[in-house]
Structure 1
């Protein structure tokens, strides 16, 4: 109907404002007006434009339309509508449903009409074909989209399936499995995070297993000693009971120290292991020197003191430095010099203890920092090889590390300098 209204509006405008091309004046007769309109318009595919005057159809576009040109019912219908115009729906033989619209026109004593015939069945057939085409295209597009979505979802979810398979393959004896990382999307970021978590879990389990193995190994000897002496002791001999009691108390004391050291190592990665606070490095260094000078028989010297404020756990650092001082005491002779110092450079706090003893061979400098790792020891050394590992644990809890170097490289007695390297500010908030 929109197209028909457009045709009628154009015809009304031509009637009101149009110029007859033959005369150059406004249209003076109906045939000229109707014929000019038909010449200037092209009907739609399912539409017929008819110039009606003199009581019958004179010109039709297209002209081969049989309903308009050869069917008497059409003329009767238009005759009945000329007086009032308007639109009626009829059944056109051979065409089905049709809409016939009549717009009357008058010029002088002549009258006529523009008749527009719209075949509805053809429009409906075209509409059905259009919907059918849209439906087929939509189904084909849906199939393609579904296939692409299925493929894409499978590709995107593949890392999650791999994650599931990897998680199923992890057990208490094998934590080494990792998920392949490919791409640069959120799934890859998740994979990287999961791999990091697996790495930390593996490290924790390995550390726990090593801790249990080391503890079991080191406790086995004192327990064997306790059991053996208790089994062989004569309870009726007061002297033997007293001797055995003293010996067993000494072993119990050694076991207590060993358990305490192991507990400290086990706790070093806990959030509450440190209680950091702003500390004057210079004051801390002088305090440490005052404490180690209470250890007899050595010449304790200050080897510099850093002038800065650092965020540290003063008690833990004191524990570490006193442990280094105790180690230096064991590996130096009466009257030998031991130096303690500190400095702060580029945001790194360095605290060291340098002795003048026999030193540590290069191949053992990393080993002595491990649990139960020991170099050459004196006959009276009752340690367990946990001292430097405790120092390293305290340094790592601060986000730092420990190095072992020669005090005087190339000398017959090169000595050993053990240094704590600590960030001036903790690399994470809190402890």
Structure 2
């Protein structure tokens, strides 16, 4: 089936200019053999294949690094806060001890005698006897820089044994008032409350000597008490990081499985097998990527299929006319003007047929492209009038209009005109001269129907399903011109509009071809429509 198109001029073949300079003569002398020269430099060794770090490993490494950093920072901050709290508690205990000594001196009553303290030494002894040191706390008293009073033997911490500490505490500058001092020695790190008690502080006491009461904490021992807790934290953090690594490896593998499948599918696709697709699971970003990849494969398969079909069709349909042209040209008697004229006419006719065939094939090859149809609002009645005026030159038939639709439709008017004229040309080709051919248009529901009815030879029931296939012909022995692509183009235009085309026919009673398209155009995201795998005229 072919379009009702005008005859195209034959393709022009460039002719050789007789005035052109001839090519230089070819030297037939055999050239002397050229011995290969040794390579100046040895070929560099091939680069070793680099190991590819997978996305799974990268994701897991990033997650694990973030987890370890978070745990480490959390532990470090917690250790700083715990150390600060230990120092605060030590200072609070030392201040309470100093306050108790001050209150005892302000009271001035010796609880053993019921009278005033006899000396600062007695007051310090009483204060030390009332103090119960903690496990990491010790105490002593100094007079004139020498240790005069120490804690009971039940007290574990013995600050008097640290000579460096005693020497620092004997400094006369520390006797001016109660204070908190920090002393780091070779033994440990001390935090101490230095409380000078003078004879003048004791009411009615005799003498003028000064006794220094020292309450000391071992800060290192205090901090070691919570070091064990952070060792436990470190162990738990290590186990947590290992658990995150295991869970992250599994989760990353499940999340990236579609990506691995995508790569595997891409590697399995060849130029002969484009059928592989990825299974779509879920409704997340990965599932959307999978859908996009499958849609891309659909478009590629459609494009490759159209390309193969075009190549097959070109090879199939051009072989015969080329053979005919070659045979007649080879057998043409150039000395016989009549034979030359006849051969020229035949060659031109075959070239015209090949030109029309190429136009039809190129039209079918662009079916899957986005700009195959261009939608715009168009008046249906005006479209009917245009086609009615264009069909009369197709052939001497009694042309008529059965119905004329009114209204506006979102269609590609040029493509619909092309399809409608093709149906009219098909009716002319398969009907007798002077027979009736009727055109019509109407709106049924949300669809526009365009049809052509003829009184031609009709189509056998067994051929109705394949009349829209490429190169299909109801009668293979039919000598009417045409390659059998016209109805395939009609079907492609109808499908591109989101519609369809059908035929009602019976042998000897004519045929009615009807194109149905939506009035409002195709859906916003129409499914990809593959190019027709076959087509042709009845």
Q: Could you tell me the TM-score, scaled by structure 2's length?
A: 0.63
1:417 counterpart residue number: 513
Correspondence for 2:19: none
Q: Secondary structure at the match of 1:415?
A: strand
Structure 1: runs of 5 or more not aligned:
21-25
What is the Cα deviation at residue 2 of structure 1? 1.1
Match of 1:85 in 2: 178
For residue 160 of structure 1, give the secondary structure of its aligned residue in structure 2. helix
Per mean C-alpha deviation after superposition, the further-off stretch among 37-46 and 149-158 is: 37-46
- Distance 1:47-1:66 versus aligned 2 partners, 3 A rule: closer
C-alpha change, 1:126 and 1:346, in structure 2 (3 Å) is: farther
- 1:153 maps to 252
Tell me the residue number matched to 1:344.
443
Q: What secondary structure does 2:288 align onto? A: helix
| Residue 91 of structure 2: aligned partner | 5
Matched residues in 2 for 1:9 and 1:169: separation?
Answer: 80
- State the partner residue of 2:191: 99
Mapping for residues 43-192 of structure 1, pairs under 5 Å: 46-47=136-137, 64-65=155-156, 67=158, 84-86=177-179, 87=181, 89=183, 96-103=188-195, 116-126=215-225, 128-192=227-291
Return the offset for 1:312.
2.9
Structure 2 alignment gaps of length 5 or more:
1-86, 113-122, 526-538
| Secondary structure of 2:511's aligned partner | coil
Per the alignment, residue 364 of structure 1 pairs with: 463
Change (3 A) 1:117 1:247: same
Q: Pick one of 342, 353, 362 that aligns with 1:263.
A: 362
CA separation of 1:416 and 1:90: change in aligned 2, threshold 3 A: closer
Larger CA deviation: 123-132 vs 303-312 = 123-132
Q: Aligned residue for 1:400?
A: 498
What SS does the corresponding residue of 1:372 show, helix, strand or coil?
coil
Residue 356 of structure 1 deviates from its aligned partner by: 4.1
Residues 187/42 of structure 1: CA separation in 2 closer, same or farther (3 Å cut): farther
Distance change >3 Å, CA 301–CA 34, structure 1 → 2: farther
1:238 aligns with 2:337: yes
TM-score (structure 1 length as normaliser): 0.77
Q: Distance in 1 between matches of 2:467 and 2:279?
A: 36
* 8 Å CA contact retained: 1:357, 1:416: no
Distance 1:337 1:42 in 2: 126
Higher relative contact order (CA 8 A, sep 6+): 2
Task: Say if 2:467 and 2:487, in contact at 8 Å, map to a contact too.
Answer: yes
Q: 2:351 — aligned with what?
A: 252
C-alpha deviations, 1:6-64, integer Å up to 9, x for none?
A: 23555678899x9x9xxxxx9775769999x9999997653458999xx987988x954
What is the rounded CA distance, in whole Å, between the counterparts of 1:170 and 1:281 in structure 2?
46
Cα distance change, pair 34–309 in 1 and its aligned pair in 2 (3 A): farther
